[in-house]
Each structure stands twice: as structure tokens, then as C-alpha cells.
């Protein structure tokens, strides 16, 4: 039997698209000349950028990764930031720092074996130029998740842009708000068949923490800042290690043997007390696991912000006359989404933007390439027909219907009434936002993410391309790794 299809025309109430109960506010947006002037100004800026792109060699690269920072997250964070500024009628003039960069593209994020990426296979792609299987870091698609034996074969191990930089005599560093052994930073220094082998691994495989502290390129990193102290300490020191090793102590001994000026710090106060001009190697582990969400009481307990860590890293790395490559991750955007904490995800994105602003301010576009992207998206959407004055983190009512502007396709909040936010005793930032399909954690999304760039050869980060192309463009801009010798004339 055939299925009949009928076009259904919805009869919206007269006030459905209006600002019910709110007087229209006269703003410059009601004047056509406003849009024409603003549009022409933007056009002139774009023409100027295209007129003379920067084509010199990138001495430095600062690579920012907003974990889980989907395009919807960027949009919502921008609106939220403007609304926080106190504007009664947001006019769309606000931008996150990286949205002002001259070049933008779209990045395809799938794994070798999965349509929707996890942070491990995606990290391998944007760090090494090689796509991998879900759950694996620093190895090719020949290694399936948990296949320790295959991961030990040198032909299956792939080098990262951090290693390429080190081979070129540059300084290198990683900064993250997650554990420094977590999937995103691990793609820069580890070869593992399972992203979860952070402090222990089967057979002859080395766990990720060991690789960071004892193997190249991890042991060669000049700056390591983030969370995850538990992965380096033995059980009797409240750590996770069952081998009894204290990898932090071992790192210190190694630094002394090699006559390096080093500092190990555990909190914001200790970091601020370091004379960064006298430090060659800086290790900071500011929490036992992941660092705290932005603005929570834990941060007040002496954890540095992502901006502060970024500035400290640049201060240490910039002393190298050959330049540096720095990877900076805003990792807790992703964690907030997984918990259906949309408000917190936006706060983390704004904090991430501030860190980008630090790097943008203290570096020169003529010699420093700054790249900002995400590893994958999430299932959060901006939906309905909210007015411009409705707070994006709140619920609205239209035509007798009540809904949350932000909601998810799945996640833990689905066990509650899916059309209502669930208030949290910890404050608005921890409110649960509605989701449809009940799951213990909300999942990633599979659509493309954006990339923004400024500096030498930033104009190559345009169009739509595979995620593994990102480090290859960066290597070309800096004449390192796969591009070494191919751009010696610059």
C-alpha cells in the first residue's frame, strides 16, 4: 500500500514571531543605511586581506583547539557574551576573538572507522596529518582500538607537528584544561591503541603518562600545563599508577641530569611566582584530574585560567630564536556538552576566546600563525523562534508553547521532562538543558566544524577540507615536517 503525503500548513498565532509583551526598541538596525554601511565596511576589510596575504615563513605557530566547539556553540557563545555585556537589544556587533580572523574554512571530522569522531582519532588527524580509528592516538588506521601489538610497530606510528617542530629546533608546548594525558593533547606526543591507557597499559605498551615523561617527543616538550596529576603518581600518593612510579619525580631528575632550568608548579600562586625568563622547562599540573569549570569555586582555590596558562607558555617558548609551536586546548567545552550543561559550555567557550585574545595580542601576525578550530561538534542546537531580547540560556514562551532555546538530541537530562531546564543547586551555569534520547552522556555530532586563521599562509585555511590537512598547512607555513625543504626560498 502506498503512503499518502499531505502538506501540513501550521496556523501560527499572530504574535508567534513578535516580541510578545515587549515594546519594540528603536535601534540603528531599523535603518537600511546601517546594514549597507556595515556590509561595505566588511567588504573593504575582506578585499584588503585578499590584496596582500602574508606569505612569509611562520616562525611561530599557536594552535588552539576548542574541544567540542561546534558552530552552534560558537554562535550561542557569541550571543551569550553580548547579552552578558548588558545590551538591552543585542545588535550582533559582538564577536569572539577568533571570529575576527580574516580566513575561515570548514573541516571534515570523521574517523577512519566512524562517521562521528571522538577526540582521539580527531587529535591524530589534526596533530599528525593522518586519520585514525576511533579511540586511538598517534597511530595510523592500521591499528584498531585495543590492539597493543599493532601500535608498537614503527610503521603504524605517526609523528606530530610537535615532533616536526622539535626536529627543526623549535620549542614546543601543550596547554589544556583537561588532563594533560587526555586524548586531545596526547595526539601530539603519544602512540596508543587506547586513549584510556593514561596511567596503565597492557603487554609491552607504555601508558600515555610514561610516553609524555620518558619518550620523545613528550620528554622534549618545553611547556606542559594542565590537569591530571593522578596519572603520574603512585597509589600511595593518591595517584592512579599501579607500578609504584612517581613520574613527576623522575621528570625532575631528568631535568637536573640534563642541566635544564626547570620549574614544577601545582597551583596558580606557584605559577605566578615563577620567573619565566629563567625557565627552560615548565611543568604545571594544577589538579588531580581535569581542571575546574570556569567560574566555579574550584577555580578560586588557586587554579590558573586558560588565558594565564597560555601567557605563561608563550613567555617560556618565545625565548627560542628559532620559534615555537604551542598547542592550547579549551577542553571543558566538550565535557559540559556531554553533561547537557549548555550554559557552562558557552562560558567555557568565552574563556577559550579570551585565551585566543592573549595570543593574538602578544604575537605578531607577520611571523606567527594562529589557528583556531574544533575536533568535533555536539548535538546542541539553537531552536525555535526566540526574539533578539530573549536570553539564549533561558526558556521562552511563544504562542502558548514553552521551550528552551538550547537543547540536545540526547543526554542525561532526558530522564527529566525534556522541554524544561532542570535547575541546579550549584547555580545557573550548572542547569541541565533538555535532551530527547536518554543516554548517560550526550554524544558528539558528526557535522563539519569551522577553522579560523591569521598570520603567514592563513589564507590556505579556506574552503572545505579534511581534518588531517590542518597540520600539513601549518607545516608548510613554517617549513617543518613534511614541508621541510619544499619552501626553503622563504
Instruction: Quick: pLDDT tens for 239-282.
Output: 999 999 999 999 999 999 999 999 999 999 999 999 999 999 99
Average pLDDT, the chain: 91
% of the chain with per-residue pLDDT over 70: 91
Under the banding of pLDDT at 50, 70 and 90, the label for residue 490 is: low
- In degrees and rounded to multiples of 5, residue 363 shows phi and psi of -120, 160
pLDDT one-digit tens code per residue, 118-156: 999 999 999 999 999 999 999 999 999 999 999 999 999
Instruction: Say whether pLDDT at 359 is over 90.
Output: yes
Instruction: Say whether pLDDT at 15 is over 90.
Output: no
pLDDT of residue 90: 53
Closest by alpha carbon to 313, among 325, 301, 298, 330?
A: 325
Chain centroid, CA 334 distance in Å: 8
Residue 379 · residue 407 · CB < 8 Å? no
Give binding residues for Zn(2+) as ranges. 67, 334, 338, 375-376, 444
Which has the higher per-residue pLDDT, 415 or 463? 463
pLDDT of residue 31: 87
Under the banding of pLDDT at 50, 70 and 90, the label for residue 220 is: very high
% of the chain with per-residue pLDDT over 90: 80
pLDDT of residue 17: 45
pLDDT of residue 20: 45
Give binding residues for Mg(2+) as ranges. 67, 182, 184, 329
CA 437 – CA 240 distance, rounded (Å): 34
CA 181 – CA 211 distance, rounded (Å): 9
CA angle 7, 12, 14 (to 5 degrees): 145
Which has the higher per-residue pLDDT, 28 or 429? 429
Closest by alpha carbon to 62, among 183, 170, 216?
A: 170
Instruction: Say whether pLDDT at 345 is over 70.
Output: yes
By CB atoms closer than 10 A (0-12, 13-18, 19+), residue 85 is exposed
pLDDT of residue 186: 98
Instruction: Say whether pLDDT at 28 is over 90.
Output: no
- pTM over cut 0.75: yes
pLDDT one-digit tens code per residue, 272-321: 999 999 999 999 999 999 999 997 665 567 999 999 999 999 999 999 99
pLDDT of residue 1: 38
Per DSSP bridges, beta strands 324-330 and 171-179 are parallel
pLDDT of residue 342: 97
pLDDT of residue 21: 42
Residue 224 · residue 204 · CB < 8 Å? no
pLDDT of residue 16: 45
By CB atoms closer than 10 A (0-12, 13-18, 19+), residue 285 is buried
Instruction: Say whether pLDDT at 206 is over 60.
Output: yes
Q: Which residues are catalytic?
A: 119
| Domain ranges, ordered by start, for the chain | 56-381+441-483
CA 310 – CA 355 distance, rounded (Å): 6
pLDDT of residue 489: 63
Fold of the CATH domain 56-381+441-483: Alkaline Phosphatase, subunit A (3.40.720)
pLDDT of residue 22: 42
Mean pLDDT of the 214-226 span:
98
**Least confident segment among 9-13, 223-227, 416-420, 476-480:** 9-13
Under the banding of pLDDT at 50, 70 and 90, the label for residue 24 is: very low
CA 224 – CA 313 distance, rounded (Å): 8
Instruction: Say whether pLDDT at 7 is over 80.
Output: no
pLDDT of residue 409: 97
Amino acid at each position: 500500500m502506498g503512503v499518502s503525503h499531505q502538506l501540513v500548513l501550521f496556523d501560527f498565532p499572530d504574535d508567534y514571531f513578535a516580541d510578545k509583551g515587549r515594546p519594540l526598541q528603536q535601534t540603528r538596525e531599523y535603518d537600511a543605511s546601517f546594514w549597507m554601511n556595515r556590509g561595505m565596511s566588511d567588504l573593504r576589510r575582506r578585499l584588503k586581506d585578499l590584496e596582500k596575504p602574508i606569505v612569509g615563513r611562520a616562525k611561530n605557530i599557536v594552535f588552539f583547539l576548542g574541544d567540542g566547539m561546534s558552530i552552534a556553540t560558537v554562535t550561542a557563545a557569541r550571543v551569550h557574551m553580548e547579552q552578558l555585556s548588558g545590551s538591552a537589544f543585542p545588535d550582533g556587533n559582538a564577536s569572539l576573538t577568533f571570529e575576527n580572523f580574516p580566513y575561515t574554512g570548514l573541516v571534515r571530522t570523521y574517523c577512519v572507522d566512524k562517521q562521528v569522531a571522538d577526540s582521539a582519532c580527531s587529535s591524530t588527524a589534526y596533530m599528525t596529518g593522518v586519520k585514525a580509528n576511533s579511540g586511538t592516538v598517534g597511530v595510523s588506521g592500521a591499528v584498531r582500538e585495543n590492539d597493543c601489538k599493532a601500535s608498537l610497530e614503527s610503521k603504524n606510528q605517526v609523528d606530530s607537528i610537535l615532533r616536526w617542530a622539535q626536529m627543526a629546533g623549535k620549542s614546543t608546548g601543550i596547554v589544556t584544561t583537561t588532563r594533560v594525558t587526555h586524548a586531545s593533547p596526547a595526539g601530539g606526543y603519544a602512540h596508543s591503541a587506547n586513549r584510556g591507557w593514561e596511567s596503565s597499559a597492557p603487554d609491552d605498551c607504555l601508558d600515555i603518562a610514561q610516553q609524555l615523561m620518558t619518550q620523545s617527543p613528550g620528554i622534549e616538550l618545553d611547556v606542559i600545563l594542565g590537569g591530571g596529576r593522578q596519572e603520574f603518581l603512585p597509589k600511595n600518593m593518591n595517584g592512579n599508577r599501579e607500578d609504584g612510579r612517581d613520574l613527576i619525580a623522575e621528570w625532575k631528575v631528568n631535568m637536573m641530569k640534563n642541566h635544564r632550568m626547570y620549574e614544577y608548579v601545582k597551583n596558580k600562586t606557584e605559577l605566578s611566582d615563577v620567573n619565566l625568563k629563567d625557565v627552560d622547562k615548565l611543568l604545571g599540573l594544577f589538579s588531580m584530574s581535569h581542571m575546574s569549570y570556569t567560574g566555579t569555586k574550584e577555580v578560586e582555590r588557586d587554579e590558573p585560567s586558560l588565558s594565564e596558562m597560555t601567557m605563561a607558555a608563550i613567555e617560556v617558548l618565545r625565548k627560542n630564536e628559532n620559534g615555537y609551536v604551542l598547542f592550547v586546548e579549551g577542553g571543558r567545552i566538550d565535557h559540559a556538552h556531554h553533561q547537557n550543561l549548555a550554559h557552562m559550555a558557552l562560558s567555557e567557550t568565552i574563556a577559550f576566546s579570551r585565551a585566543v585574545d592573549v595570543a593574538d595580542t602578544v604575537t605578531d601576525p607577520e611571523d606567527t600563525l594562529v589557528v583556531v578550530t574544533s575536533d568535533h561538534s555536539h548535538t546542541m542546537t539553537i531552536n525555535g523562534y526566540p526574539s533578539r531580547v530573549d536570553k539564549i540560556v533561558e526558556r521562552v514562551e511563544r504562542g502558548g508553547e514553552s521551550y528552551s532555546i538550547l537543547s540536545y538530541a540526547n543526554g542525561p537530562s532526558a530522564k527529566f521532562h525534556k522541554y524544561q531546564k532542570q535547575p541546579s543547586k550549584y547555580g545557573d551555569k550548572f542547569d541541565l538543558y533538555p535532551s530527547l534520547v536518554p543516554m548517560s552522556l550526550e554524544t558528539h555530532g558528526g557535522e563539519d566544524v569551522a577553522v579560523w586563521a591569521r598570520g603567514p599562509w592563513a589564507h590556505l585555511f579556506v574552503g572545505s577540507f579534511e581534518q588531517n590537512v590542518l597540520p600539513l598547512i601549518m607545516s608548510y607555513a613554517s617549513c617543518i615536517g613534511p614541508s621541510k625543504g619544499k619552501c626553503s626560498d622563504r
